[in-house]
Structure 1
Amino acid sequence: MRADRLLRIVFRLQGRGVVSASTLARDLEVSTRTIRRDMEALSAAGVPVYSVRGGAGGWALVQDYRTSLTGLSTTEALAMIVGRPGGVLADLGLEDPGEDLILKLLAAIAPAAREHAEHARQRIHIDPGRYWEPVTNNPSPLLPRLLEAIWDDKIIELRYGSRPRATRTAPYGLVRKGTRWYLVGRAHDRLRMYRVSRIHDLAVTREAFSRPDDFDLATHWQQAQEEYARRFASYRIRLRLRGESLTRAGWAYARSKSFTEPDRDGWVDAEFDTEDYDSAVCLVGSLGGDVVVVSPDHLRRQLISNAARQIELNQATPPEP
């Protein structure tokens, strides 16, 4: 997301001197055009960046650039990392500090503040991908206490799911995807992932723990997502749905979902990863007349066949008196 990217650009320029736009684009996985727009935003906010022409040219910060900002509050540091996606700071029990905070702080960022911001980046990660979910969002009331324990590196004891006993966990960080929050922590010498909404009880202890120096929250989350995709084969389908049918769109059958905003007629383009063909048939069947199968073609043919069979059976069965 842009806030995190602007922060990383400043860090790279402070540490490397002149950096080419192509190098920044490759490191940050964006286009060189995006890098140029980011540089314009930084310059407009007062960050002293300038371009260097020539074969060894690129972008740089004014030499010996230092600032007067002495520190960031927890809320400000988190705002620099998460930006302002709807509800994130509110979920964590923090007030929104305002839209212009990120650029203003980047224009006045001192070493101590950078350290505080990096502390936040290693403990909160916002995945820009989305799961399909209802519009309503009821964040866990435990989130502020979890954040406190994560920020201070304190051991927690949590009761999760149907497990009767509490588990001692070293909480490394929180990840939000869509409106879902996940806790990444170490328990029983293993890194584990907890859905925060399934944590029923939480106690923050006074016992501190040491985080591994080589642990990076965003990297771990990405690797965990890739491992999940490798371990579980998926059957991907593309559908067009009436927007109101989303509330019926196969919670039991689809592992992950993505969708567009409704068009003028209320239809939504959606992709679903289902476990197999049978799960896809069940999902599509549950939507009745509110779905069009875009792909795969053989699933669409099966839907037509099933519908024809249902019509045939129901027309042949006389109604009860």
Structure 2
Amino acid sequence: MNIFPSKALRSIPASDSVLTWAGAIEVEHAAGWSRGWRLPRGRLRLFPGRLRLFPGRRLQGHARAQAGVRITFGTDATVLRGRCLSADGIGPVDLVVHGTVVDAPVASDGSFHFAELPAGEKITEIWLPHGGDFRLVELAVDESARTWVTPATPPPRLITYGSSITQCRAAASPTRTWPALVARNLGLDLTCLGFDGECHLDPMIARLIRDRPAEVIITCLGVNVYGAGTFTKRSFLPAVLGFVSTVRDGHPRVPILVMSPIFSPSREEQTGQTGMSLAEMRADIAEAVRLLREHGDADVHLIDGLDVFGPAQEHLLPDGLHPNAAGYAHMATSITPLVRAHLHPHHQATGRRQ
């Protein structure tokens, strides 16, 4: 079926094998649509997650958001269009070709389009909206255009884990979240496990990261624990040690960068549900990294959240907690050189992916 009957286009169903869903843990192909999942869909009940502060919002639900998920394929098309099932709450779609980003809004009927693509063969990356429930119906290209599966060899792989500050809903577009910017700056293949309100050091998330291939891992810990009181003064430090150690079990020599919370003015000295201030939690995360290194893990490294986003950036925190679009761009600028410094030399990529 051609979703744009007035154009001479060829339809590509969302379930077509020519499309690679990069950054998704699993892909669901239903009748008439497909979507990526950032948790294993067949085992969702092992990832329950419910916050007292936000009743009804579950980790499973946030796993439907396409943060970091992109559809890739090769083509010589000059026009690319698509349609999703619903446009409610859906942000723009980004297209990356030859390292250049173009964004397109999703219309009220769920359609989006990109015209005047560069002539000739190219790899296209369609970065899907990083918030909302995006379900792709199909894509369409010039009727005479060729399409092919992208090469199977991925660049070095980056996994990021964190809260809404890692999902980055306020970012300007899908390629402008800080994980996406870091990945594109360094030529890395991103899997983003940022879950709004649901970063609670879940053991099953640690096992998921443990079992997924990666060349560098960033865990951003603390702020959701502060808000929900997931742990106490007694249990938080051991929980960080256990989470990072579980991840380490599957990645013996991979750099694990453990990032403490970024600046949040009202929480720095105010005791939260944990019985700790954000500053105290930041100190515990630093202590966890120190202990792991003391006991032989030379590849775990601390990123102090205040070095990434500190008091000087307070004007980029509209609500005192979440950065705005410029704030997420600043985070990427701060984090990129830290990742580059710790990425093993034989895994260094050449920069923005083409």
TM-score surpassing 0.5? no
Normalised TM-score (structure 1): 0.26
Larger Rg: 1
> Using CA pairs below 8 Å that are at least 6 residues apart, which structure has the higher relative contact order?
2
Query: Which one has the bigger helix percentage?
Result: 1
Normalised TM-score (structure 2): 0.24
